Amino acid sequence: MPSALHIAADLLREAVHRKWMLGLLLAITLAGVLLGWTLQMEVVDGVLASTRLFGLDVGHDLRATDMALRPVFSGTAWFMYVTGLLFGVLACSDFAPEFLAAGRIEHLLALPLRRAELIVGIYLGVLALSVASALYGGVVFTVLFGLKSGIWSWCIVAGALAGCLAFSAVYAAMLASAVFVRSAALSSAIGVALLFAGSVIARPELAALFNAGAPRRWFTAVVSFVPRFWLLGRLGAVAGGFEPLDADLLRTAAGTLIFAGACVMLAIWEFERRDY
Amino acid sequence: MKRGYLWLLLACGLLGVAAWLMPSNDPAGKQGKESAAAVSFPDHPAAADQAKMQQRRTLPPQAGQSAPTAPGAVAALPAKRDPLLVALPPDRELMVFELSSFFKQPLGQMFSACMRSDAFWHGFESKGLDLGEVDRVAVGNLWSSERLVVVSGNALHADPTQMYRLKEPTAYGVGGQVFAPVEPLPSDAWTPPYVALWNKTTVLFSTSLRAVHEALDRLDGRTPAEPAFPQDEAYSQAYGVVTARSLAEAVSSLGLSEQLRRADLTAHFHIAVSDDAAIVLDAQGSSADAREVAKALAAMLAAKRVQAASAHDKRASKLLDLYSVMPQPHGFQLKVAVPLSFLQDVLAGCAHSDKGAAGATRP
């Protein structure tokens, strides 16, 4: 589908010229530089003897370096996952509405490409943007902690990429909403609502609040297809070897990708039957 | 069918597949899937321990004693005392075991072998004392020739003459009966020929008649005595005080012996045992020694972790992941969860090193 890739490349070119993209890269770089300057770790015989952040002692107990850094690695992986998702929802909500805006859409439809390719192109472009940002942030923090402590764990990169996986589902729903109603605000709201549903509403603890029987069965059925974002966030810790890889996580990852595919198809269906 | 509807059908189909793939959020289906509970370190008494500690304080407060109170607070009544802790001599080292829960565990059995008192316990079980009635066993004056073993229970039906060849008892103090040996002391210092009963709740064993008398004096209140171990810390399945030197002997196989032997440290320990053991050790002493030993312990445990991981011993590696050594102003706190196999190695070394030195006491 080379035409879709052309659209994706077009979207990336447009993103590069936006100030928020430069702001994101600058923020990640600054955070890395700041942490690099202020974080001091003393490692003796494989034991983290002391850690100083901004000149203050943090963590006094003597532990094996990799164990002492586990909370730092998994915390940073979670941070990358969550911020990646939130930033993606807020920053990418206007791509699809702008591509579908009157004047531009007629021009695009005049090009020798199928309508499905246009939708897939927008989707792939935003995903590529998300993956590039996640990789940059993940690698910066991984290298930083690696140089400081001598422990090289790719869990931060994995956490950031897990954010991309979750974002693939969120953005697919946002794209579908933009095709139905061309509004960046609504698209953003759908993204936030799906994030909330996948992080809070679909949790078993919430289902437990419903009476056992029909009410709980109905609730469970309604939220059954919502991606479990709280589970996906564990991918970073799994990649670091801090948590075991279980079937639930694999099923969630596969289900999230399929949910994303379903939303993209829904967007294509609506786009195919519209007159512009 | 219009081609456009194919996309809708595909979308619905994929949503169905996604719903099928997503893990259930039905709480009923999640039962039993929770991961095993984390190791619980005995770093404070649980509510049940508190109740047990109160229940065991049956001795009246020492005459003329008042409980310490904060400035400005209303003076509290002096605390009652735990007879077992009062009977123990005021020594730098002592150990207390909850017999019912500790010695029935594999670790407890290994520990008793390490203490080389197997024959002693066997004597209990087979003859004059029903172990089912025993609540706790404590050892004081650990490395002196006047070692004292205190056995406590609610209503002990003990007949010491069934255990050893002893003379008829003589009364001592208010509630004490002392049994002396018929024959001179055997060479094995672990065999305790002097036995005393006190109020059907405590049995004392020692190689020294003086130690037995002193313990009875403390119990009857003839000699003023504070509990040999803080009463508020009498929890978990095994607890007590050891010096760094004794610790070095016990864990000589770990390669820390020299550092520990040199250190001027005293450590309060608590051990909780199940299939594995969770140990909390609060060491106090000279700051420089404590810092050095803390670093050595942390490095040793880090190395053990790596060894366990490279040997693909997942259980050991997972348990050793939980260790922490927290430096404190004049000591450190060590928390470590260790698998049974690890302790087997440590205590096997201890038992071997003691063989052939029967009856020897520490210098």
Per-residue pLDDT tens digits for A154-210:
899 999 999 999 999 999 999 999 999 989 999 999 999 999 999 988 888 888 888
The average confidence (pLDDT) of chain A is: 86
The Cα angle at residue B209 between residues B208 and B214, in degrees rounded to 5: 100
Of B176 and A61, the one with more pLDDT: B176
Asked if the model's pLDDT at residue B350 lies above 60, the reply is no
Residue (of B248, B247, B253, B254) closest to B269 by Cα position: B247
Q: Which residues of B touch A274 (CB under 8 A)?
A: none
Q: CA of B313 to nearest chain A CA: how many angstroms apart? A: 15
pLDDT tens digit sequence for A96-124: 998 888 888 888 888 888 889 999 999 99
For residues A26 and B258, the answer to whether their CB atoms sit within 8 Å is no
Which band of pLDDT confidence, cut at 50, 70 and 90, is reported for residue A267? very high
**C-alpha distances out from residue A81 to A75, A159, A167, A197, A233, Å:** 10, 5, 9, 17, 6
| Length of chain A (residues) | 276
Helices (H), B221-267: 244-250, 257-262
Of B191 and A116, the one with more pLDDT: A116
Mean pLDDT is lowest, of A93-97, A99-103, A144-148, B36-40, for B36-40
A188: amino acid identity, one letter = S
Picking from A44, A67, A255, the nearest residue to B21 by CB comes out as A255
Mean pLDDT is lowest, of B3-12, B45-54, B126-135, for B126-135
CB contact (8 A) between residue B326 and residue A204: no
Asked if the model's pLDDT at residue B326 lies above 60, the reply is yes
Asked if the model's pLDDT at residue A50 lies above 70, the reply is no
pLDDT tens digit sequence for B227-276: 889 988 999 988 999 888 777 777 766 667 677 777 778 889 999 887 77
CB contact (8 A) between residue B299 and residue A61: no
CB contact (8 A) between residue A46 and residue B17: no
**C-alpha distances out from residue A145 to A35, A44, A74, B273, Å:** 9, 16, 12, 37
pTM score of the predicted model? 0.66
On whether any CB of chain A is under 8 Å from the CB of B298, the answer is yes
- Whether the ipTM is more than 0.85: the answer is no
Which band of pLDDT confidence, cut at 50, 70 and 90, is reported for residue B332? confident
Cα(A228)–Cα(A256) distance, integer angstroms: 8
Q: Which residues of A touch B331 (CB under 8 A)?
A: none
Q: Which residues of B touch A268 (CB under 8 A)?
A: 7
Picking from A44, A247, A262, the nearest residue to B15 by CB comes out as A262
pLDDT of residue B38: 61
Picking from B8, B11, B22, the nearest residue to A251 by CB comes out as B22
Asked if the model's pLDDT at residue B198 lies above 70, the reply is yes
Largest CA distance in chain B: 109
Residues whose CB falls within 8 Å of the CB of residue A192, separated by 6 or more in sequence, listed in order: A89
